[in-house]
Amino acid sequence: MTNADLVVVGSGFFGLTIAERCASELGLRVLVIDRRHHIGGNAYSEANRETGIEVHRYGAHLFHTSNPAIWEYVNRFTSFTNYVHKVYTNRGGEVFPLPINLGTINQFFRSAYSPGEARALIAEQASELDTGAAGNLEEKAVSLIGRPLYEAFIRDYTAKQWQTDPRELPAEIISRLPVRYTYDNRYFNDTYEGLPVDGYTAWIERMADHPNIEVRLDTDFFDLEQEINKTATVGQVPVVYTGPIDRYFDYAEGELSWRTLDFEEEVLPMRDFQGTPVMNYADLDVPYTRIHEFRHFHPEREYPADKTVILREFSRFATREDEPYYPVNTPQDREGLLAYRQLGDAERDVYFGGRLGTYQYLDMHMAIGSALSMYENKLKPRFTR
Ligand code: FDA
């Protein structure tokens, strides 16, 4: 497409929402480019070759939102199963439900506390330290949920996630640690929740399926930048950029730091390995943070009775060559981000969005919601004035 009206860099949920809206509602010709070999960004999934079981290539993706407009929008492209996410944690050879709830507390303290009794116990244990005076993550966590629960469920898991002793991590990494004084262990509190019936890739492909949308894969924006500007008929083609903001400015204000994940996939010769989709491992002597078993995300599907696919997840700091997954957000990162935002504001024809373009963790519904709002508030007025 040599005469695109708009170029979208990145085919994740942010980029595709922009492309879909601009093509369907404004009739614009949109060129979407992605450096990966597939569309969908981190939400991409594919069938494991040996078993046909759908594997979320970049870690488990569960859709949830309480926003009716976003729910209505995503239902244009897919219907959802009635999957409800629940997580368990293996700690000291015992399995507990998460997030920490009355079931976790009573199992851990070998007791039968009522909600009021449990609340009083945790408040008393948490009174050991003052939240306002917490100087590191450990002190903050102890001041919120008390030392016994912190040491059992948070300390070693956090150390594995960050590859750092929690006493050396800043207190601001956690703002709150939810404890539920009921037996409800639904992971998300949102009104709407489910998994796309035909899988993520089918959903994503339907978003891109429009005669005005051209998707070019295996293409890095920075290799194409010159060509895009040369072929523009009038002035510069506006660009929606959802890649890393520091890369856009050639790291002029320094590199923003990220955590990344490594995944080890294995097909096991059994129907069921762990009886649940996600099992966390809270102890330090287990090197991975969690194991996903993908068949459990779709109990309604016919999967093989003698094989299952598991994915072990390991966490570490990212180098420039790694996939950036979670912003680390140190004070230095925040300073760098401010500087990049100022540089970004000065780029008249480039709109920065998505999790990499804004350097923030966004759930899928948040990426879609923020793309819908960029479309309504910035792109639509620009193209219809
Ligand atoms: P996304 O990263 O998906 O897409 C950006 C795209 O830009 C990528 O495809 C990349 O290749 C491309 N790109 C970058 N630079 C480029 C360049 N120079 N040229 C061309 N292309 C370039 N959310 C949720 O709601 N529920 C969940 O359970 C999870 N789980 C989860 C697990 C893990 C491990 C992670 C890291 C994230 C989640 N998420 C999630 C969040 C979810 O992945 C996120 O909301 C979306 O990926 C955001 O979509 P974006 O389009 O912003 O980025």
Ordered by start, the domain boundaries in the chain are 6-83+194-255+329-384, 99-175
The residue nearest atom 31 of ligand 1, judged by CA position, is 61
The residue nearest atom 35 of ligand 1, judged by CA position, is 325
| 232 vs 18, residue with greater confidence | 18
| 3 vs 11, residue with greater confidence | 11
Pocket probe for ligand 1: among 11, 13, 38, 42, the residue whose CB has the most ligand atoms within 8 Å is 42
Confidence at 233, pLDDT banded by 50, 70, 90: very low
Residues taking part in catalysis:
176, 180, 259, 290, 313, 361, 363
Cα-to-centroid distance, 30 and ligand 1 (Å): 20
* DSSP code of residue 140: H
User: Measured from the CA of 58, which atom of ligand 1 is nearest?
Assistant: 34
The residue nearest atom 47 of ligand 1, judged by CA position, is 42
Please tell me the CATH code under which domain 6-83+194-255+329-384 is placed.
3.40.50.720
pTM of the model: 0.94
pLDDT digits (tens, 9 = 90+) for 166-193: 998 888 888 888 899 999 999 999 999 9
330, exposed or middle or buried, with CB in 10 Å at 0-12, 13-18, 19+? Answer: middle
- Is a pLDDT exceeding 80 seen at residue 229? no
Residues 6+ apart with CB under 8 A from 251: none
Residues 6+ apart with CB under 8 A from 213: 19, 20, 23, 30, 32
Return the pLDDT at 234.
41
Site residues for ligand 1, CB cut-off 6 Å: 9-15, 33-36, 41-43, 58-63, 220-222, 242-243, 261, 325, 354-356, 362-365, 367
Rounded distance, CA 20 to CA 82, Å? 26
Cα-to-centroid distance, 221 and ligand 1 (Å): 16
The residue nearest atom 21 of ligand 1, judged by CA position, is 34
Confidence at 86, pLDDT banded by 50, 70, 90: very high
